[in-house]
Structure 1
Amino acid sequence: MSGVVRAALRSTTSVCALVQRSHGLLPLRCFSTEAEQPPLNSTPPPPPFFETDHSGLTYGNLLGVRKYALKTDIINFLEGCNLTLEDVKMDYDRSFSPVSTLLQFPTRDSFDHAVKVILKKGRLYKLDRVNLHQWDQVKPYDGKTILIQGMPRAGTYEDIGRILSGFEFDSSSISLFLRPGGTAGADPIKLATVRFNSRTQAMNACIAKMERFAKQSHLDTSYPVIHAPLTGASVIVLLYRVQSSLSC
Protein backbone atom coordinates (compact mmCIF):
# COMPACT_ATOMS: atom_id res chain seq x y z
CA MET A 1 0.00 0.00 0.00
CA SER A 2 2.79 2.43 0.93
CA GLY A 3 4.46 1.72 -2.41
CA VAL A 4 1.31 2.79 -4.23
CA VAL A 5 1.14 6.09 -2.26
CA ARG A 6 4.80 6.91 -2.99
CA ALA A 7 4.27 6.28 -6.67
CA ALA A 8 1.21 8.55 -6.73
CA LEU A 9 3.11 11.39 -5.03
CA ARG A 10 5.99 11.12 -7.50
CA SER A 11 3.53 11.26 -10.38
CA THR A 12 1.79 14.36 -8.99
CA THR A 13 5.11 16.18 -8.50
CA SER A 14 6.18 15.45 -12.06
CA VAL A 15 2.88 16.74 -13.46
CA CYS A 16 3.15 20.04 -11.50
CA ALA A 17 6.71 20.61 -12.71
CA LEU A 18 5.63 19.93 -16.29
CA VAL A 19 2.72 22.39 -16.04
CA GLN A 20 4.99 25.12 -14.62
CA ARG A 21 7.53 24.70 -17.43
CA SER A 22 4.91 24.62 -20.18
CA HIS A 23 3.01 27.73 -18.97
CA GLY A 24 5.99 29.79 -17.86
CA LEU A 25 4.82 29.94 -14.27
CA LEU A 26 7.14 31.14 -11.57
CA PRO A 27 8.11 28.65 -8.87
CA LEU A 28 6.17 28.77 -5.66
CA ARG A 29 7.58 31.09 -3.00
CA CYS A 30 8.77 29.68 0.28
CA PHE A 31 6.87 30.47 3.42
CA SER A 32 8.68 32.78 5.89
CA THR A 33 7.91 34.34 9.26
CA GLU A 34 9.83 37.56 8.35
CA ALA A 35 7.92 40.72 7.38
CA GLU A 36 7.84 41.43 3.66
CA GLN A 37 10.06 44.36 2.64
CA PRO A 38 8.47 47.02 0.34
CA PRO A 39 10.08 47.73 -3.06
CA LEU A 40 12.84 50.36 -3.05
CA ASN A 41 11.03 52.61 -5.53
CA SER A 42 7.68 52.54 -3.77
CA THR A 43 5.89 55.89 -3.26
CA PRO A 44 4.45 56.95 0.10
CA PRO A 45 0.74 56.43 0.52
CA PRO A 46 -1.50 59.45 -0.21
CA PRO A 47 -2.72 61.50 2.76
CA PRO A 48 -6.18 60.80 4.15
CA PHE A 49 -9.02 62.32 2.15
CA PHE A 50 -9.94 64.96 4.72
CA GLU A 51 -6.36 65.93 5.58
CA THR A 52 -5.37 69.40 4.25
CA ASP A 53 -1.81 70.30 3.28
CA HIS A 54 -1.14 73.70 4.89
CA SER A 55 2.34 74.10 3.42
CA GLY A 56 3.14 76.09 0.29
CA LEU A 57 2.08 79.45 -1.10
CA THR A 58 -1.55 80.56 -0.80
CA TYR A 59 -3.05 83.52 -2.66
CA GLY A 60 -5.82 85.92 -1.72
CA ASN A 61 -7.71 88.97 -2.99
CA LEU A 62 -8.15 91.68 -0.36
CA LEU A 63 -11.32 93.69 -0.98
CA GLY A 64 -12.07 97.12 0.49
CA VAL A 65 -8.59 98.68 0.19
CA ARG A 66 -8.78 102.45 -0.28
CA LYS A 67 -7.26 104.26 -3.23
CA TYR A 68 -4.34 105.81 -1.35
CA ALA A 69 -3.41 102.78 0.73
CA LEU A 70 0.24 101.72 0.75
CA LYS A 71 1.69 98.25 0.74
CA THR A 72 3.11 98.93 4.19
CA ASP A 73 -0.38 99.83 5.44
CA ILE A 74 -1.67 96.43 4.38
CA ILE A 75 1.33 94.56 5.81
CA ASN A 76 1.03 96.36 9.15
CA PHE A 77 -2.71 95.71 9.30
CA LEU A 78 -2.23 91.98 8.70
CA GLU A 79 0.30 91.63 11.48
CA GLY A 80 1.68 88.18 12.08
CA CYS A 81 1.08 86.98 8.51
CA ASN A 82 4.76 87.28 7.48
CA LEU A 83 4.03 89.36 4.36
CA THR A 84 6.71 91.35 2.50
CA LEU A 85 6.44 94.13 -0.08
CA GLU A 86 6.88 91.55 -2.83
CA ASP A 87 3.86 89.63 -1.48
CA VAL A 88 1.47 92.51 -2.26
CA LYS A 89 0.29 93.43 -5.77
CA MET A 90 -2.04 96.29 -6.67
CA ASP A 91 -4.20 95.62 -9.71
CA TYR A 92 -5.15 98.68 -11.80
CA ASP A 93 -7.65 99.30 -14.58
CA ARG A 94 -6.72 100.89 -17.93
CA SER A 95 -6.82 104.37 -16.37
CA PHE A 96 -4.60 103.21 -13.49
CA SER A 97 -7.27 103.37 -10.84
CA PRO A 98 -6.75 100.53 -8.31
CA VAL A 99 -9.38 97.80 -8.54
CA SER A 100 -8.05 95.06 -6.27
CA THR A 101 -5.17 93.99 -4.04
CA LEU A 102 -3.66 90.53 -4.39
CA LEU A 103 -1.68 88.93 -1.56
CA GLN A 104 0.76 86.02 -1.52
CA PHE A 105 0.89 84.17 1.81
CA PRO A 106 3.78 81.81 2.65
CA THR A 107 1.40 79.09 3.90
CA ARG A 108 -2.30 78.27 4.17
CA ASP A 109 -2.03 78.79 7.93
CA SER A 110 -0.82 82.34 7.28
CA PHE A 111 -3.87 82.95 5.08
CA ASP A 112 -6.20 81.61 7.77
CA HIS A 113 -4.49 83.86 10.32
CA ALA A 114 -5.15 86.89 8.08
CA VAL A 115 -8.86 86.04 8.02
CA LYS A 116 -8.88 85.94 11.83
CA VAL A 117 -7.05 89.30 12.02
CA ILE A 118 -9.64 90.91 9.73
CA LEU A 119 -12.49 89.56 11.85
CA LYS A 120 -10.78 90.69 15.04
CA LYS A 121 -10.25 94.24 13.74
CA GLY A 122 -13.83 94.86 12.73
CA ARG A 123 -14.18 93.35 9.26
CA LEU A 124 -12.74 96.42 7.50
CA TYR A 125 -11.70 94.21 4.60
CA LYS A 126 -12.78 90.97 2.98
CA LEU A 127 -10.25 88.30 1.98
CA ASP A 128 -11.07 85.75 -0.73
CA ARG A 129 -8.86 82.93 -1.95
CA VAL A 130 -7.57 83.08 -5.53
CA ASN A 131 -5.29 80.82 -7.53
CA LEU A 132 -1.76 81.20 -8.87
CA HIS A 133 -3.02 82.10 -12.36
CA GLN A 134 -4.86 85.15 -11.02
CA TRP A 135 -1.74 86.21 -9.10
CA ASP A 136 0.50 85.87 -12.18
CA GLN A 137 -1.86 87.91 -14.36
CA VAL A 138 -1.27 91.09 -12.34
CA LYS A 139 1.78 93.10 -13.41
CA PRO A 140 3.95 94.19 -10.46
CA TYR A 141 5.13 97.81 -10.43
CA ASP A 142 6.92 97.57 -7.07
CA GLY A 143 6.90 101.33 -6.52
CA LYS A 144 9.46 101.82 -9.30
CA THR A 145 7.10 103.26 -11.93
CA ILE A 146 5.75 106.79 -12.21
CA LEU A 147 2.53 107.61 -14.04
CA ILE A 148 2.39 111.02 -15.72
CA GLN A 149 -1.18 112.19 -16.35
CA GLY A 150 -2.68 115.14 -18.21
CA MET A 151 0.07 115.47 -20.82
CA PRO A 152 -0.52 117.52 -23.98
CA ARG A 153 -1.80 115.40 -26.86
CA ALA A 154 1.33 116.27 -28.83
CA GLY A 155 3.67 114.95 -26.11
CA THR A 156 6.42 112.61 -27.35
CA TYR A 157 9.06 110.25 -25.95
CA GLU A 158 11.62 113.02 -26.29
CA ASP A 159 9.45 115.28 -24.12
CA ILE A 160 9.39 112.63 -21.40
CA GLY A 161 13.18 112.44 -21.58
CA ARG A 162 13.41 116.21 -21.09
CA ILE A 163 10.96 116.10 -18.17
CA LEU A 164 13.07 113.52 -16.36
CA SER A 165 16.44 114.93 -17.38
CA GLY A 166 18.98 114.42 -14.61
CA PHE A 167 17.29 111.28 -13.24
CA GLU A 168 18.27 107.69 -13.89
CA PHE A 169 15.41 105.77 -15.48
CA ASP A 170 14.88 103.03 -18.04
CA SER A 171 14.28 104.88 -21.31
CA SER A 172 13.12 101.67 -22.99
CA SER A 173 10.27 101.40 -20.46
CA ILE A 174 8.54 104.67 -21.51
CA SER A 175 4.98 104.01 -22.64
CA LEU A 176 2.60 106.68 -24.01
CA PHE A 177 -1.12 106.02 -24.41
CA LEU A 178 -4.53 107.71 -24.50
CA ARG A 179 -7.42 107.06 -22.15
CA PRO A 180 -11.01 108.39 -22.19
CA GLY A 181 -11.69 111.59 -20.26
CA GLY A 182 -13.22 111.47 -16.83
CA THR A 183 -16.63 112.78 -17.92
CA ALA A 184 -18.93 112.09 -20.85
CA GLY A 185 -17.86 113.99 -23.94
CA ALA A 186 -14.51 114.98 -22.47
CA ASP A 187 -11.40 114.82 -24.63
CA PRO A 188 -9.13 111.80 -24.17
CA ILE A 189 -6.23 112.29 -21.79
CA LYS A 190 -2.66 111.31 -22.50
CA LEU A 191 -0.68 109.32 -19.97
CA ALA A 192 2.85 107.97 -19.75
CA THR A 193 4.53 105.40 -17.54
CA VAL A 194 8.27 105.36 -16.83
CA ARG A 195 10.13 102.75 -14.80
CA PHE A 196 13.13 103.47 -12.58
CA ASN A 197 15.76 101.09 -11.24
CA SER A 198 14.68 101.53 -7.60
CA ARG A 199 11.83 102.86 -5.48
CA THR A 200 14.10 105.58 -4.11
CA GLN A 201 14.97 106.90 -7.57
CA ALA A 202 11.32 106.93 -8.60
CA MET A 203 10.26 108.77 -5.45
CA ASN A 204 13.07 111.33 -5.72
CA ALA A 205 12.11 112.10 -9.32
CA CYS A 206 8.45 112.45 -8.41
CA ILE A 207 9.09 114.76 -5.45
CA ALA A 208 11.58 116.92 -7.36
CA LYS A 209 9.34 117.38 -10.39
CA MET A 210 6.28 118.12 -8.27
CA GLU A 211 8.16 120.78 -6.29
CA ARG A 212 9.34 122.45 -9.48
CA PHE A 213 5.91 122.21 -11.06
CA ALA A 214 4.25 123.76 -7.99
CA LYS A 215 6.68 126.69 -8.01
CA GLN A 216 6.31 127.43 -11.72
CA SER A 217 2.55 126.98 -12.05
CA HIS A 218 -0.32 129.10 -10.76
CA LEU A 219 -2.45 126.39 -9.18
CA ASP A 220 -5.75 126.55 -7.38
CA THR A 221 -5.29 125.15 -3.86
CA SER A 222 -8.10 122.69 -4.56
CA TYR A 223 -6.35 121.34 -7.64
CA PRO A 224 -4.70 117.97 -6.93
CA VAL A 225 -0.99 118.04 -7.66
CA ILE A 226 -0.19 114.45 -6.74
CA HIS A 227 -3.09 112.33 -7.82
CA ALA A 228 -2.18 109.12 -6.00
CA PRO A 229 1.08 108.81 -4.04
CA LEU A 230 1.26 105.03 -4.29
CA THR A 231 4.96 104.64 -3.65
CA GLY A 232 4.52 101.72 -1.34
CA ALA A 233 1.64 100.26 -3.29
CA SER A 234 2.76 100.13 -6.87
CA VAL A 235 2.81 103.33 -8.87
CA ILE A 236 3.99 106.87 -8.21
CA VAL A 237 1.65 109.26 -10.00
CA LEU A 238 2.79 112.65 -11.24
CA LEU A 239 -0.04 114.88 -12.46
CA TYR A 240 0.41 117.67 -15.01
CA ARG A 241 -2.26 120.11 -16.07
CA VAL A 242 -3.09 119.79 -19.75
CA GLN A 243 -2.21 123.43 -20.40
CA SER A 244 1.12 123.25 -18.59
CA SER A 245 4.36 123.01 -20.53
CA LEU A 246 6.18 119.70 -20.71
CA SER A 247 9.42 121.53 -20.06
CA CYS A 248 8.55 122.02 -16.41
Structure 2
Amino acid sequence: MVSYARDGCILHLKFIGGVCFGRLLGITKYTTRSDVCNLLDGCNLNLDDIKVEYSRSFLPVSMLIQFPSRDAYEVGLKATRRDRLHRLDMTNRSAWGTLHAYEGRSILLEEVPISATPDDVERFLSGCQYDPSTFRNIFSRGGFPQTVRFVTVSFPSQALAMHACITKDRSFCINKQISVRVLH
Protein backbone atom coordinates (compact mmCIF):
# COMPACT_ATOMS: atom_id res chain seq x y z
CA MET A 1 0.00 0.00 0.00
CA VAL A 2 1.30 3.44 -0.92
CA SER A 3 0.07 6.72 0.53
CA TYR A 4 0.11 10.06 -1.26
CA ALA A 5 -0.82 13.43 0.25
CA ARG A 6 -2.70 15.79 -2.03
CA ASP A 7 -4.58 18.95 -1.07
CA GLY A 8 -4.58 17.98 2.59
CA CYS A 9 -6.11 14.54 1.86
CA ILE A 10 -4.26 11.27 2.07
CA LEU A 11 -4.84 8.92 -0.81
CA HIS A 12 -4.10 5.24 -0.27
CA LEU A 13 -3.34 3.11 -3.32
CA LYS A 14 -2.99 -0.63 -3.25
CA PHE A 15 -1.03 -2.23 -6.10
CA ILE A 16 -2.14 -5.66 -7.17
CA GLY A 17 0.48 -7.94 -8.82
CA GLY A 18 1.77 -7.30 -12.32
CA VAL A 19 5.00 -5.83 -13.53
CA CYS A 20 6.39 -2.56 -12.27
CA PHE A 21 8.95 -0.34 -14.02
CA GLY A 22 11.77 1.65 -12.47
CA ARG A 23 14.54 3.97 -13.64
CA LEU A 24 17.94 3.59 -11.93
CA LEU A 25 19.99 6.79 -11.92
CA GLY A 26 23.61 7.29 -10.90
CA ILE A 27 25.20 4.81 -13.30
CA THR A 28 28.51 5.31 -15.09
CA LYS A 29 29.64 4.37 -18.57
CA TYR A 30 31.25 1.24 -17.12
CA THR A 31 28.13 -0.02 -15.29
CA THR A 32 26.86 -3.24 -16.84
CA ARG A 33 23.48 -4.92 -16.63
CA SER A 34 24.99 -7.70 -14.52
CA ASP A 35 26.21 -5.06 -12.02
CA VAL A 36 22.61 -3.91 -11.63
CA CYS A 37 21.40 -7.51 -11.18
CA ASN A 38 23.97 -7.89 -8.38
CA LEU A 39 22.96 -4.57 -6.80
CA LEU A 40 19.27 -5.54 -6.83
CA ASP A 41 19.96 -9.13 -5.75
CA GLY A 42 16.65 -9.97 -4.05
CA CYS A 43 14.45 -8.68 -6.90
CA ASN A 44 14.44 -11.82 -9.10
CA LEU A 45 15.81 -9.95 -12.13
CA ASN A 46 17.55 -11.33 -15.19
CA LEU A 47 19.50 -9.47 -17.88
CA ASP A 48 16.46 -9.23 -20.17
CA ASP A 49 14.66 -7.14 -17.51
CA ILE A 50 17.19 -4.30 -17.84
CA LYS A 51 17.66 -1.78 -20.67
CA VAL A 52 20.22 1.02 -20.78
CA GLU A 53 19.06 4.51 -21.72
CA TYR A 54 21.74 6.47 -23.61
CA SER A 55 22.09 10.19 -24.30
CA ARG A 56 22.65 11.49 -27.85
CA SER A 57 26.41 11.16 -27.38
CA PHE A 58 25.98 7.56 -26.14
CA LEU A 59 26.74 8.18 -22.50
CA PRO A 60 24.50 6.08 -20.24
CA VAL A 61 21.88 8.22 -18.52
CA SER A 62 19.95 5.57 -16.63
CA MET A 63 18.84 1.97 -16.67
CA LEU A 64 15.20 1.00 -17.06
CA ILE A 65 14.26 -2.04 -15.03
CA GLN A 66 11.21 -4.26 -15.38
CA PHE A 67 10.39 -5.67 -11.95
CA PRO A 68 8.20 -8.81 -11.82
CA SER A 69 6.04 -7.35 -9.03
CA ARG A 70 5.52 -4.31 -6.84
CA ASP A 71 7.16 -6.18 -3.93
CA ALA A 72 10.31 -6.70 -6.02
CA TYR A 73 10.34 -2.95 -6.74
CA GLU A 74 10.12 -2.22 -3.01
CA VAL A 75 13.07 -4.57 -2.34
CA GLY A 76 15.05 -2.74 -5.03
CA LEU A 77 14.10 0.62 -3.55
CA LYS A 78 15.45 -0.46 -0.16
CA ALA A 79 18.68 -1.74 -1.74
CA THR A 80 19.32 1.56 -3.52
CA ARG A 81 18.61 3.53 -0.34
CA ARG A 82 21.30 1.50 1.46
CA ASP A 83 23.67 1.96 -1.49
CA ARG A 84 23.34 5.79 -1.57
CA LEU A 85 25.14 5.99 -4.93
CA HIS A 86 22.10 5.17 -7.04
CA ARG A 87 18.52 6.37 -7.07
CA LEU A 88 15.55 4.27 -8.14
CA ASP A 89 12.44 6.07 -9.39
CA MET A 90 9.20 4.57 -10.61
CA THR A 91 8.40 5.05 -14.29
CA ASN A 92 5.65 3.98 -16.66
CA ARG A 93 5.45 1.20 -19.24
CA SER A 94 5.74 3.59 -22.21
CA ALA A 95 9.36 4.41 -21.34
CA TRP A 96 10.19 0.71 -21.53
CA GLY A 97 8.53 0.17 -24.89
CA THR A 98 10.19 3.05 -26.74
CA LEU A 99 13.75 2.28 -25.65
CA HIS A 100 16.03 0.37 -28.05
CA ALA A 101 17.72 -2.63 -26.42
CA TYR A 102 21.26 -3.25 -27.64
CA GLU A 103 21.68 -6.26 -25.29
CA GLY A 104 25.47 -6.33 -25.65
CA ARG A 105 25.21 -7.28 -29.34
CA SER A 106 26.15 -3.87 -30.75
CA ILE A 107 29.34 -1.86 -30.63
CA LEU A 108 29.90 1.86 -30.83
CA LEU A 109 32.78 3.18 -32.91
CA GLU A 110 33.71 6.53 -31.40
CA GLU A 111 35.43 9.38 -33.21
CA VAL A 112 35.16 7.97 -36.73
CA PRO A 113 36.45 10.62 -39.15
CA ILE A 114 33.75 12.44 -41.08
CA SER A 115 35.48 11.51 -44.35
CA ALA A 116 35.25 7.76 -43.62
CA THR A 117 33.04 5.82 -46.02
CA PRO A 118 31.20 2.56 -45.26
CA ASP A 119 34.05 0.77 -47.08
CA ASP A 120 36.54 2.30 -44.63
CA VAL A 121 34.44 1.09 -41.70
CA GLU A 122 34.23 -2.40 -43.24
CA ARG A 123 38.00 -2.39 -43.67
CA PHE A 124 38.36 -1.34 -40.03
CA LEU A 125 36.14 -4.26 -38.92
CA SER A 126 37.86 -6.85 -41.13
CA GLY A 127 38.12 -10.22 -39.41
CA CYS A 128 34.92 -9.68 -37.40
CA GLN A 129 31.57 -11.33 -38.10
CA TYR A 130 28.97 -8.56 -38.30
CA ASP A 131 26.00 -7.53 -40.40
CA PRO A 132 27.10 -4.70 -42.75
CA SER A 133 23.50 -3.58 -43.26
CA THR A 134 23.36 -2.49 -39.59
CA PHE A 135 25.84 0.38 -39.91
CA ARG A 136 24.20 3.46 -38.47
CA ASN A 137 25.79 6.89 -38.55
CA ILE A 138 24.27 8.18 -35.35
CA PHE A 139 25.76 11.47 -34.34
CA SER A 140 28.25 13.99 -35.63
CA ARG A 141 29.76 16.63 -33.45
CA GLY A 142 32.23 19.41 -33.93
CA GLY A 143 35.64 18.45 -32.68
CA PHE A 144 39.10 19.80 -32.77
CA PRO A 145 40.72 19.75 -35.33
CA GLN A 146 37.92 18.10 -37.33
CA THR A 147 34.34 16.95 -36.96
CA VAL A 148 33.91 13.35 -35.82
CA ARG A 149 31.00 10.93 -35.77
CA PHE A 150 29.78 7.80 -34.02
CA VAL A 151 28.82 4.59 -35.83
CA THR A 152 26.95 1.61 -34.36
CA VAL A 153 27.30 -1.90 -35.74
CA SER A 154 25.25 -4.96 -34.72
CA PHE A 155 26.59 -8.49 -34.29
CA PRO A 156 24.82 -11.87 -34.17
CA SER A 157 25.91 -12.55 -30.57
CA GLN A 158 27.34 -10.88 -27.50
CA ALA A 159 30.55 -12.91 -27.79
CA LEU A 160 31.22 -11.65 -31.32
CA ALA A 161 30.56 -8.05 -30.27
CA MET A 162 32.95 -8.39 -27.31
CA HIS A 163 35.56 -10.00 -29.59
CA ALA A 164 35.33 -7.03 -31.98
CA CYS A 165 35.64 -4.62 -29.06
CA ILE A 166 38.73 -6.34 -27.71
CA THR A 167 40.50 -6.76 -31.04
CA LYS A 168 39.61 -3.45 -32.71
CA ASP A 169 39.72 -0.97 -29.79
CA ARG A 170 42.26 1.80 -30.40
CA SER A 171 42.91 0.63 -33.98
CA PHE A 172 43.21 3.11 -36.84
CA CYS A 173 40.71 4.14 -39.51
CA ILE A 174 42.02 6.74 -42.00
CA ASN A 175 44.97 7.60 -39.72
CA LYS A 176 42.66 8.25 -36.76
CA GLN A 177 42.55 6.09 -33.66
CA ILE A 178 39.04 4.72 -32.99
CA SER A 179 37.62 3.78 -29.58
CA VAL A 180 35.28 0.81 -29.54
CA ARG A 181 32.71 0.19 -26.81
CA VAL A 182 30.01 -2.46 -26.35
CA LEU A 183 26.50 -1.06 -25.95
CA HIS A 184 24.36 -2.79 -23.33
TM-score range (shorter-chain normalised) is 0.7 to 0.9
1:38 is aligned to: none
More strand by share: 2
Out of 90, 96, 104, the position equivalent to 1:135 is 96
1:202 is aligned to: 161
Q: Displacement, 1:178?
A: 4.0
Identity of aligned residues (%): 36
1:12 is aligned to: none
1:90 is aligned to: 52
**CA distance in 2 between partners of 1:122 and 1:100 (Å):** 16
* Cα distance change, pair 117–177 in 1 and its aligned pair in 2 (3 A): closer
1:61 equivalent in alignment to 2:11: no
**Amino acid of the structure 1 residue aligned with 2:133:** S
1:42 is aligned to: none
**CA distance in 1 between partners of 2:132 and 2:124 (Å):** 12
Equivalent residues, number: 171
2:136 is aligned to: 175
Q: Displacement, 1:177?
A: 4.1
**CA distance in 2 between partners of 1:81 and 1:226 (Å):** 35
2:4 is aligned to: none
1:37 is aligned to: none
1:17 is aligned to: none
Q: What does the per-residue CA deviation read over 1:140-160, in whole Å, with 9 as the maximum and x for residues that have no partner?
A: 110111111112221111222
2:71 is aligned to: 109
Q: What does the per-residue CA deviation read over 1:83-108, in whole Å, with 9 as the maximum and x for residues that have no partner?
A: 11111111111111111211110111
Structure 1 residue ranges (4+ consecutive) displaced by more than 4 angstroms after TM superposition: none
For normalisation by structure 2, the TM-score amounts to 0.82
**CA distance in 2 between partners of 1:186 and 1:91 (Å):** 30
**CA distance in 1 between partners of 2:138 and 2:24 (Å):** 29
Q: Displacement, 1:195?
A: 0.3
1:190 is aligned to: 149
* Cα distance change, pair 177–134 in 1 and its aligned pair in 2 (3 A): closer
1:164 is aligned to: 125
| Residue pairs, 1:203-218, within 5 angstroms | 203-210=162-169, 213=171
Q: Does the residue aligned with 2:78 lie in a helix, a strand or coil?
A: helix
Gaps of 5+ in 1: 1-48, 220-224, 235-248
Q: Displacement, 1:122?
A: 3.7
RMSD: 2.5
1:23 is aligned to: none
**CA distance in 2 between partners of 1:126 and 1:50 (Å):** 24
